[in-house]
Amino acid sequence: QVQLVESGGGLVQAGGSLRLSCEASGRTLSSYCMGWFRQAPGKEREFVAAISWNGGRTYYADSVKGRFTTSRDNAENTVYLQMNNLKPEDTAVYYCAKERARYGTGRRLYISECDAWGQGTQVTVSS
């Protein structure tokens, strides 16, 4: 069973940047599409970004397109989310997740398609 641990969250001013990491242990991630989701207080968890198993394809929610970039290092079993030009509405707990099926193509991921989640890391953007 894979364990996912996110890190890199924090407090940043609007317009600033953060880089989140998601490190896996217990199982290699190299055959799986990985996704990032976020959940703001009082709201449902929403999709943010996904990256295909080999890193060749990515997909982003419209709300973050052009500002966020996801990447992966399969040798390090780690996935990243670079967040630039952060806005107060980006404030949320961010989660990484592993797709259940192998060799996913980096399209939009749904919560029901993921079978492993990290504990989340808080991102707070002040105005």
Looking at residue 52, its pLDDT comes to 95
pLDDT in tens, 41-93: 999 999 999 999 999 999 999 999 999 999 999 999 999 999 999 999 999 99
Q: What is the CA radius of gyration of the chain?
A: 13
Looking at residue 106, its pLDDT comes to 74
Residue 104 has pLDDT above 90, yes or no: no
Residues 112-115: contacts with CB under 8 Å, at least 24 apart: 114/35
Q: CB-side exposure of 63: number of CA atoms within 13 Å?
A: 12
pLDDT in tens, 10-35: 999 999 999 999 999 988 899 999 99
- Least Cα distance to 71 among 126, 21, 121, 110 occurs for 21
